[in-house]
Structure 1
Amino acid sequence: MNRRQLWTGLVVACCWLCGCSAPLAARAVSLEVVGTDELRFEPAELTAPAGVTINLTFRNQGNLQHSFALLPEAADINLFTINQENFPGEIDTGQIDGGASFRLAIDSLDPGSYTYICLTPGHAAAGMVGTLLVEGQSR
């Protein structure tokens, strides 16, 4: 075997091994947010990397019905009536009874700051609002 064949074999082997390695970043993250009867989300701020699926669990630990709705990035909650008929987004749990939970898969958000609110009438106005910070570069 000559040197050229040896180097070619080593390069092919290295390329093959690099292709078999695990990805450097996760393709999904799991987050949980809790709705309370104090009309708050806990936590009020979530962080996730851009370009991955966010597996979000919304848990209503109160007795009142609550919801989790993620607004489009540029949405202003003051520009629409806060109820489900006028909701401008597509990411919404609907009304969740006290003690129940709901899971959402949110696909690949771009970097930015997104507002999440409770769509039960009066809850967002009373402070049931949070922020999802999506950081990094989209994949």
Structure 2
Amino acid sequence: MKKTFTILAFSLLPAFAIAAVDHSGHDMHGHDMPTMSHATSTVGQPGDPANVSRTIDIIMDDHMHFTPSNIQVEAGETVRFFIKNVGQVPHEMVIGSIEELKAHAAEMLAAPGMEHEEPNMITLQSGKVGGLVWQFDQPGKVDFACLIPGHTEAGMVGTVEVIGDR
């Protein structure tokens, strides 16, 4: 199995928090995931790490949970999600609308070896940590889920409530 590693340096975290993120949970290199286009998404856009207003720690586990699974942010806020997989199997966090997540989950069933390299998603092997930086543009509900086949169906989903006027 081919392994790809990315070094993520978090400017607001201490030097010891720099993490090697293992992206080897999926084998299909270069998949562009047409159903997860963040450029036209109503759920926000990739955030600028220099504009992060806060960091939210998220734990993924083999009970098919995100902790926390319900998050509240302000419209316009840029958030760094610091994510840790404490389970024994790969998990991922994918930010999108429920429609985007369902469509991409169907793609993953057809191609379970899919590799994610988009700014709204991260796949982590057991014991690995990583991060996503996301800007939530407008009020409303934003979903996130683990789209590894069977994980969403087992309840590995969460919601971001974006409040305020923008």
Q: Same fold (TM over 0.5)?
A: yes
Q: Secondary structure at the match of 2:161?
A: strand
**Mapped partners of 1:137, 1:60: distance in 2:** 34
Match of 2:155 among 106, 127, 139: 127
User: Where does residue 91 of structure 1 map in the other structure?
Assistant: 120
Q: Which runs of 5+ in 2 are unaligned?
A: 1-50
Q: 1:13-62: per-residue Cα shift (whole Å, max 9, x none)?
A: xxxxxxxxxxxxx9612112110111111111011111011111111111
Q: Secondary structure at the match of 1:105?
A: strand
| Greater fraction helix | 1
Q: Which runs of 5+ in 1 are unaligned?
A: 1-25
Alpha carbons of 1:108 and 1:79: their partners in 2 closer, same or farther (altered >3 Å)?
closer
User: Where does residue 92 of structure 2 map in the other structure?
Assistant: 67
**Which aligned segments of 4 or more residues in structure 1 are displaced greater than 6 angstroms?**
none
Match of 2:72 among 41, 47, 51: 47
Is contact 1:29-1:48 (8 Å) kept?
Answer: no
- TM-score, normalization by structure 1: 0.68
**Mapped partners of 2:52, 2:101: distance in 1:** 30
**Mapped partners of 2:103, 2:132: distance in 1:** 25
**Mapped partners of 2:80, 2:99: distance in 1:** 22
Residue identity opposite 1:91 in structure 2 = N
Is contact 1:53-1:105 (8 Å) kept?
Answer: yes
The alignment covers a number of residue pairs equal to: 109
Residue identity opposite 1:96 in structure 2 = L
Mapping of residues 17-32 of structure 1, within 5 Å: 28-32=53-57
State, as a whole percentage, how many aligned pairs show the same letter.
24
- TM-score, normalization by structure 2: 0.58
RMSD of aligned residue pairs (Cα, Å): 2.4
Alpha carbons of 1:123 and 1:49: their partners in 2 closer, same or farther (altered >3 Å)?
same
Q: Secondary structure at the match of 1:75?
A: helix
| Greater fraction strand | 2
**Mapped partners of 1:41, 1:27: distance in 2:** 21
